[in-house]
A and B are shown apart, each in its own frame.
Chain A
Amino acid sequence: MNHFMIKQFNGLDDATAQRLHSLGLQVGSSVQAVRFYPFHGPVIIQVDHQKIGIRYRVFKLLTGGKPL
């Protein structure tokens, strides 16, 4: 369904990348997108039994999209 794999941390600013690392995310982690907010608002992802809200732009980058 809404399963994605984290493909890259490239293009993220240092602080965001570091915080995501601290939450246990790395290349190859599988995440489930629980919820998308309208107008490209935040995305709720679930990793290792925990839910995290991130910005749409960050979500796109993590899952292999191009920097906006």
Chain B
Amino acid sequence: MTTVALLGNPNTGKTTLFNELTDKYAYVGNWTGVTVEKKVGQIRHSHTKVIDLPGVYSLNPITKDESVVTNYLLGHSPDLILNVTNASQLKRNLLLSVEVLELGVPVIITLNMIDDLKRTGHYYNLKTLSTELGCPVRTTNARNKEGLTELKADLVRDQSEIKPNLPLKLNYPLMVNQAIRQAATSLTKDYKVEPKFAHWLAIQYINNNKVVRKYATMHQLKPLLSQKAYYDAQKFDDQIFETRLSFIEKTLASATEQLKSTQHVAITSKIDKVVTHPIFGLPIFVGIFYLMFKLSFDWIGTPLSGYLDGFLSGPISSWANQFLTQAGALPMLRSLIVNGLIAGVGGVLVFIPQIFVLFACITILEDSGYMSRAALVTDRIMEMIGLNGKAFIPLIIGFGCNVTGIMAARTIEQPKERLITTLISPFMSCSARLPIYSLFVAALFPRHQALIVLSLYFLGIVVALFMAKFYHVIFKAKEHSVFIVELPQYHIPRLDIVWHGTWDKGKGFIKKAGTIIFAGTVLIWLLSNFGVHGYVTQIDQSFAANLGQILLPVFKPIGISTWQPISALLTGVLAKEVISSSMMVLFHTSNQTALIAMIGGSFTAISAYALLVFILLYIPCFATIGTIKSETGSAKWAAYSVISSLAISYTLAFLIFQIGSLLM
């Protein structure tokens, strides 16, 4: 088994390359210390395993995400490193390559997005590059599947066939070189560190790599620790940087070739002229999001969901009912399957079209390169609440799922800002909350469905921003925000990449339908069919009713007058989708139309809106609570998140219902 580690800067098309090279992949395992999922794939018809590492600018990490790569290199030794670079930005990409080449592990560098480079009228002599860097250099364009066959042939070798690389040796200034040599020698002699690794470790330590410094302290590597003050006082890190950069500039200058025909298409600049306009940039951002919601809820998603519902609650439900009656199944079992599972789980599955359209839109925004522009145009607003534009991206991803949103917050540099972003993420209205909105807007606001849903999304954002400002003041976050975003070239989204990304995000939803939503539905069916006296025919005597009725006085002030929604809310903590499937079971209906009529009868416009606001903001689902705990590393923050969101949601719902009732 050969292990290949994929490593490179962000925006080099690394993930696309990974998807093109491998056919099946899985998220597995934890890295030491932090819970990060690594993506491991297999190259078709081979014994080569490919590990996709997060994109990094250098091996000295600033963010949590980036430290994964350095930790991987400290703890594992891959057979081969495939260094993916963006061909048109080779200068800074090679800064990372140099660090990797110094390790002495076999490396192949691929100049990806080679087409973009050709368009600028340049080309590089691969032979020169290869000689200077001391490793094979290939060219690819993963988006058009160019150069992949050749690259794959390089990767599917057996371990024994891979040629070892000599570590790249740069001419660091005399003093630096001496320091590296001394430290490496005594690491090898006294600590039995492998010579090549010792050399690399010494360079990284001297270059002030935080993770390597921690590693040295942990392993008590005295030769490095004792010289720390000297290294830092001499500003060796600056000298190392300058040596590397001038080596790269020299190498590139000797390898650059001019192409005769240049077909410079400045499409990116043209789009950016409009999209990142100082004044219109923000309205365009809002417009793009409005369009995204229109597509998901009005134009494509909702009509498809309607057909699916008709099919599930019509033919499927009555067929199952008939089949079970003919097969002589117990009435109780029939009720569990037809009224419980088909109605409940099916009631969630009908939202697949809406959710997938939303995920497709988010993927298109990510893949095209618009996301970093969104960060840019929102930065000034985010600055006011003490965050930066980059925090907007996790929040937008949170619209899909809060868990992935919180994970995306790893790219934020400042720890305090990351914590704030994590805490406000659950207020982003995730796709799981959609089913319940859809039911209520169909019942009580049939003419303004998109508008009401959009208002909830906006309210979520407003609450999140308000809380962010509040935390910013409380935490006394004084450090300046680190805000540096790269604006990559735009790409026309490719259908299979968009589908891949959509499926990656959406499959969790389908999986949840089979597991937690299934379990939640069975639970609520049990609670609603059994009471203190065993199996009950009248739902009013069931456990669910008892529980709901006990809590009814608490919920009266926010406008809930029947027990069913309360029981449904309790199950919603399992997963927000369960709220709608529970409603389906509790109101004893088998299709959406009937449930919508029931809801229409037991709510007024105001009480319905108050309830929706409550659902938007109340306790995060289990998965989100778990993620907050693992990302902040403390159960306290998770508990805090539960309590604070409950308090906020109750207060807001209370105010809306009470003030609304006075006005109407």
Contact = CB atoms under 8 A, between A and B. Distances in A.
Interface in A11-41: 13, 15-16, 18-24, 26, 35-39, 41
A54 B92 contact: no
B375 interface: yes
A16 B390 CA distance: 14
A55 interface: yes
Nearest to B268: A51
B92 A48 contact: yes
B482 A16 contact: yes
A49 B88 CA distance: 8
Contact of A26 (B245, B377, B383, B480): B245
B265 interface: no
Given A13-B479, A26-B242, A26-B245, A51 B58 contact: no
Given A49-B120, A53-B483, A22 B92 contact: yes
Given A42-B389, A52-B487, A22 B58 contact: yes
B91 interface: yes
A19 B485 CA distance: 10
B483 A55 contact: yes
A23 B57 contact: yes
A24 B276 contact: no
A15 B272 CA distance: 27
Contact of B380 (A24, A35, A37, A49): A37
Contacts of B272: 51
A42 B483 contact: yes
B336 interface: no
A16 B380 contact: no
Interface string B485-510: 11100000000000000000000000
A35 B242 CA distance: 29
Contact of B95 (A22, A41, A49): A22
A48 B57 CA distance: 16
Contacts of B96: 22
A24 B92 contact: yes
A46 to B, nearest CB: 9
A23 B484 contact: yes
A6 interface: no
A68 B91 CA distance: 31
B89 A49 contact: yes
B604 interface: no
Contact of B57 (A19, A41, A55): A19
Interface in B368-394: 372, 375-377, 379-380, 383, 388-389
B198 to A, nearest CB: 24
B279 interface: yes
Interface in B96-115: 96
A52 B484 contact: yes
A65 B272 CA distance: 28
Contacts, number: 102
Given A42-B376, A53-B379, A19 B278 contact: no
Interface in B227-279: 241-242, 245, 272, 276, 278-279
A52 to B, nearest CB: 6
Interface residues on B, range: 35 or more
A13 B480 contact: yes
B442 interface: no
B483 A18 contact: no
Nearest to A39: B380
A52 B380 contact: no
A50 interface: yes
A20 B482 contact: no
B60 interface: yes
A22 B57 contact: yes
Contacts of A26: 241-242, 245
A4 B398 CA distance: 38
A41 B88 CA distance: 28
A37 B375 CA distance: 13
Contact of A52 (B120, B482, B485): B485
Question: In this complex, which of A21, A37, A38, A42 has the most chain B Cβ atoms within 10 angstroms of its Cβ?
Answer: A42
A54 B95 contact: no
Given A18-B60, A41-B379, A42-B389, A57 B242 contact: no
B376 A44 contact: yes
Contact of B62 (A15, A24, A38): A15
B279 A24 contact: no
Contacts of B92: 22-24, 48, 50
B482 A13 contact: yes
Contacts of A44: 276, 376, 487
A55 B481 contact: yes
Contacts of B278: 35-38, 41
B366 interface: no
A19 B481 CA distance: 13
B32 to A, nearest CB: 23
B86 to A, nearest CB: 9
Contacts of A38: 278-279, 380
A11 to B, nearest CB: 10
A49 B92 CA distance: 11
B379 A42 contact: yes
Question: In this complex, which of A13, A21, A44, A57 has the most chain B Cβ atoms within 10 angstroms of its Cβ?
Answer: A21
Interface string B403-419: 00000000001100000
A38 to B, nearest CB: 6
Question: In this complex, which of B91, B414, B480, B482 has the most chain A Cβ atoms within 10 angstroms of its Cβ?
Answer: B482
B70 to A, nearest CB: 14
B487 A48 contact: no
A2 B637 CA distance: 47
Given A19-B62, A20-B484, 13 more contacts: A13-B479, A13-B480, A16-B480, A23-B486, A24-B245, A35-B276, A38-B380, A42-B389, A50-B92, A53-B372, A53-B484, A55-B379, A55-B480
11 contacts: A16-B480, A22-B92, A38-B380, A39-B380, A42-B376, A42-B483, A49-B120, A50-B88, A50-B487, A52-B487, A54-B483
- Which 3 interchain pairs have the tightest Cβ spacing? A41-B380, A24-B92, A22-B57
